[in-house]
Structure 1
């Protein structure tokens, strides 16, 4: 089987570093508070209710020190308390009930924000151009949907959403303290001011540390995904210990990054505690002297101290909000990086009805050139380096990080209703041709036509509906046989599913289980053989009854008997269809109407098998090595 850059183009390389990440000086993607607002404003109605509740809670809380002061004054004056105690209990109960309901709304809204961000990420991820997946780590993308979005939860649940009530509480307490005794208030302003400046300076460190932590978690997730996804190859290569060390190293890096976040955020708590303790000591010292001089009463001092607590409470909440916002912005930078990427549909043609040109070939390449984007090349180069360092023979290790043109002026035609084969050595560009036909990439130069019309003038969805595409090493989705078949034809009947399965010699698979087409296939199709997985992919393509079939090494995993049965099945479904087939085994394509020979991205010969054996030395050598001449 070919293992080159062109033929691995449709598959993401796992375990790579991300060359697309927009790095800043501290190494993480940037995010601003303004970018966080849309996630919050999506739930503005609930936030308004929360704000109203926080105002009510703040008002009922501010009344309590005044009532307590009045109770103390009346006790000192030996006056009856009247309804003061009952009123105080009522305000405490109201404040607690409102706070509990507000807490519930914040928790629910925080969860809704996470859901909203995940929906946006999932929608964007599944519509990104293929080049993004070729240049990014799968595990890192999964990490952004999972752990990064969770960081947004803390924004609502740690003080930001009830900031209106906290501001009212802070301002109300400040005014009350100013009325009670301006001198005691001035004595603590300096202490509180220093603490605010210190926490503000820490917020930047927290954001940078969080961004680095999330990157490390993405690396860890990618490393685990890579090792588990290739566990059989890892075991067979005796690389289990090396993979364990590599993944453990990523876990250690994530731990170290988490410790840096903990160190930065841990300073916020003692700062708030020191500010409160210092303020209390100052108030008690200054207040004691003020009471001794008769400037304030004991009741006023107690009331002042209670208002001091009420003023420090929203200040501590603000410190927590600054910390959570700093952490959220670090994670949001990674989320926003993906949300800012253009989708595949961004450069898509408007919906239109294809207008075939009479007499035009089904598919035509006109002087097509193609070079992979630098980011993809950089990712593959990094994958090769990492795989070589770990000595694990994976697809990533074999992918050649080519920087030159993969296709160099390729020109050929596929007549309507014909069977055309693409052959050539590894790295010739065969799989890239199919990727360009499917518009996973667009050519660097030249033109690709479908029925005489430039494929860039067709919407991708309409274009791809014309093809049945079976990629090299076609994946089998976890679930049942029916789930896999109906991926492209969700409305297909059970009878249609069984028909295509028997057409590709998979009748025995459904006959050996009482569940039939509802038989599970296991993760990555582990319950099927390699040949069965390959035939299942072909059956999936056949179920949509496309006019054109694109088969990339479709018989590479089959033994001689099943290969012949597959050829018979393809012969049967080929009637009235156009086939473009990539084959490493020439025996599967010797009877093709036309064979196109590729070498180093160029067409070096076209014709039938007998013609090419006589006229193209490369083809003759390939045929001789496979005992066909």
Structure 2
């Protein structure tokens, strides 16, 4: 990831941390699986006894009945184990996704400036699923398989140490081959998962701007670019498959080679009178029975490597810095805080990693009133809004409201209850109009909703929509016009009754009629709120009680329109009426 983290190499222990809360289910599944394994290990011995009994001419029906009961009991306990594993797995992945989602929602804004959203989403979906499979399936199956193999080898040693030594020799050789390729499998698996996250990020970029893609006739170009991303994933997975292909013959060699050697050596020892035919059959059954758990042990390596790779990507997200909600006392803050009411900035400085944006901004906004912020592009207008919303913290200086410091006298949540923000892009969410307007205050009653609807000029829209407030607005509010989206965003901020309302160029998508309506609305809002508006349009600037002009990261002028007009940057003329 681009954001610097302190994430070290993830180990199996780090994987097992996420099993907390599901360990009883996993333990139950393990007990059932071990019981099934024990019943399976008993079957070859029952078969051996049955052969010896039949050879001696004695009745074998009781032994056959016992074999049937053991087989049914094994199948039942194995089914119960599988169900418990799936149940635990779903609980683990749910807990993982909840934790990752909560982490993503609390990351500092600087992280989102650097990370690809699609990749972050991929980590919370695809990678958690991979980790679930490892924790709830592969680890338990690996433990059971290891115990079955140990138990089976113990039974083999008891039946015939010579044949057991033959099997062990073949298994050790094939296991050594598998161990060599595991490191390469992990490397390619990590690369494939990273490439998958990159593909998800690119798809999010393209699909979120699909209208621009279409009108730019860029479908073929974007399709080729996405295809190239998919090909990177394919190449990494093919290289991993090539390494895994080495594992399969090694497993085949271990299983089939053991079986062939046991038959050859075993028949020779039967002929020499060193082992009974019933014991040889039991030994062969053990070799055949251990084939599956031995294969699982060989497969568990690549599977755990995949899980560790997924855990590495998840841990990187967990280690990203999040916002701190607690107040941070600063002994020097009170020296700057104004004793008056309203919003005050004192010598505020801020820089991004590569350049300084604010070099000492100071101004005061009255408790009630309409204040516009103007200035050329890059002067720091949006940065001030980001600092006021506490998306970022200033490098120096103080932000205060009604004499209380934004950082030392407020927690993050307390400060944001006083703030309403309407971005220039006016992002709406998929859902109904009601969902969007009441988003900041989901418990708002109908009276409050209709009051802000009337205040923002949305009454006609609500009447016109087929289901009124319960009409779906589409992805990102696509069924509404730009001006309607802007007014919905303003209504969304107002419904929470903020004391400070920040609007970033609210009239940018409005025609002349709606602009006049919104200007009147802003005047009305300013009688109840501290209203701060980033403005470029002449009409918005003229409507403001006071204008703060920024230039080169500082306040260049402050006052009425007539007082600051010489400091204002050139503004585009308002559109008039007419037809060419």
Answer yes or no: is 1:371 the counterpart of 2:351.
Answer: yes
Q: Could you list the per-position Cα deviations for residues 171-204 of structure 1 after superposition, in whole angstroms to 9, with x for gaps in the alignment?
A: 2211211121111111222211122222233332
Q: Which moved more, 1:477-486 or 1:292-301?
A: 292-301
Q: How does 1:93-242 map to 2 (within 5 A)?
A: 93-156=72-135, 158-242=137-221
The residue aligned with 2:252 is 273
Q: In the aligned structure 2, how far is the partner of 1:293 from the partner of 1:226?
A: 74
Q: Which residue, 46, 55, 59 being the options, matches 1:76?
A: 55
The residue aligned with 1:318 is 297
Answer yes or no: is 1:19 the counterpart of 2:2.
Answer: yes
Unmatched 5+ stretches in structure 2:
none
Q: Could you list the per-position Cα deviations for residues 389-448 of structure 1 after superposition, in whole angstroms to 9, with x for gaps in the alignment?
A: xxxxxxxxxxxxxx2101111121112223221101111110110100111000122222
The change in CA–CA distance for 1:347 and 1:572 in structure 2 (over 3 A counts) is closer
Answer yes or no: is 1:91 the counterpart of 2:91.
Answer: no
Q: In the aligned structure 1, how far is the partner of 2:313 from the partner of 2:387?
A: 30
Q: Which residue, 350, 353, 357 being the options, matches 1:406?
A: 357
The residue aligned with 2:521 is 569
- TM (norm. structure 1) is 0.86
Q: Could you list the per-position Cα deviations for residues 591-625 of structure 1 after superposition, in whole angstroms to 9, with x for gaps in the alignment?
A: 423211112322211121111125x3xx1x52696
- TM (norm. structure 2) is 0.93
> Is contact 2:166–2:261 with CA below 8 Å preserved after alignment?
yes
1:320 Cα deviation after fit:
2.4
Q: How does 1:520-535 map to 2 (within 5 A)?
A: 520-535=472-487
1:299 Cα deviation after fit:
1.3
The change in CA–CA distance for 1:346 and 1:339 in structure 2 (over 3 A counts) is farther
> Is contact 1:613–1:623 with CA below 8 Å preserved after alignment?
no
> Is contact 2:369–2:530 with CA below 8 Å preserved after alignment?
yes
> Is contact 1:357–1:453 with CA below 8 Å preserved after alignment?
yes
> Is contact 1:497–1:517 with CA below 8 Å preserved after alignment?
no
Aligned residues: 571
DSSP-derived class of the 1:558 partner: coil
The residue aligned with 1:383 is none
The change in CA–CA distance for 1:230 and 1:150 in structure 2 (over 3 A counts) is same
Q: In the aligned structure 2, how far is the partner of 1:209 from the partner of 1:562?
A: 57
The change in CA–CA distance for 1:129 and 1:79 in structure 2 (over 3 A counts) is same
1:349 Cα deviation after fit:
4.3
Q: In the aligned structure 2, how far is the partner of 1:317 from the partner of 1:119?
A: 31
Q: Which residue, 424, 427, 433 being the options, matches 1:472?
A: 424
1:138 Cα deviation after fit:
0.9
Q: In the aligned structure 1, how far is the partner of 2:552 from the partner of 2:189?
A: 46
> Is contact 2:5–2:320 with CA below 8 Å preserved after alignment?
no
Q: Could you list the per-position Cα deviations for residues 540-597 of structure 1 after superposition, in whole angstroms to 9, with x for gaps in the alignment?
A: 1111222211111111111111111000011112113211110111320224232111
Answer yes or no: is 1:360 the counterpart of 2:324.
Answer: no
The residue aligned with 2:570 is 622
Answer yes or no: is 1:611 the counterpart of 2:563.
Answer: yes
DSSP-derived class of the 1:345 partner: coil
Q: In the aligned structure 1, how far is the partner of 2:220 from the partner of 2:573?
A: 39
DSSP-derived class of the 1:83 partner: helix
Q: Which residue, 435, 438, 441 being the options, matches 2:392?
A: 441
> Is contact 1:207–1:328 with CA below 8 Å preserved after alignment?
no
Answer yes or no: is 1:504 the counterpart of 2:462.
Answer: no
Q: In the aligned structure 1, how far is the partner of 2:564 from the partner of 2:376?
A: 15
> Is contact 2:10–2:308 with CA below 8 Å preserved after alignment?
yes
The residue aligned with 1:335 is 314
DSSP-derived class of the 1:41 partner: coil
1:210 Cα deviation after fit:
1.8
> Is contact 2:325–2:413 with CA below 8 Å preserved after alignment?
no
1:56 Cα deviation after fit:
1.3
Q: In the aligned structure 1, how far is the partner of 2:138 from the partner of 2:478?
A: 48
The residue aligned with 1:586 is 538
Q: Which moved more, 1:52-61 or 1:585-594?
A: 585-594
> Is contact 2:525–2:531 with CA below 8 Å preserved after alignment?
no
1:321 Cα deviation after fit:
2.2
Unmatched 5+ stretches in structure 1:
1-17, 375-402
Q: Which moved more, 1:209-218 or 1:558-567?
A: 209-218
Larger RCO of the pair (alpha carbons < 8 Å, separation 6+): 1
Q: Which residue, 494, 505, 518 being the options, matches 1:553?
A: 505
Query: What is the aligned-residue RMSD (CA, Å)?
Result: 2.4
1:626 Cα deviation after fit:
6.7
Answer yes or no: is 1:431 the counterpart of 2:379.
Answer: no
Q: Which residue, 25, 29, 33 being the options, matches 2:12?
A: 33
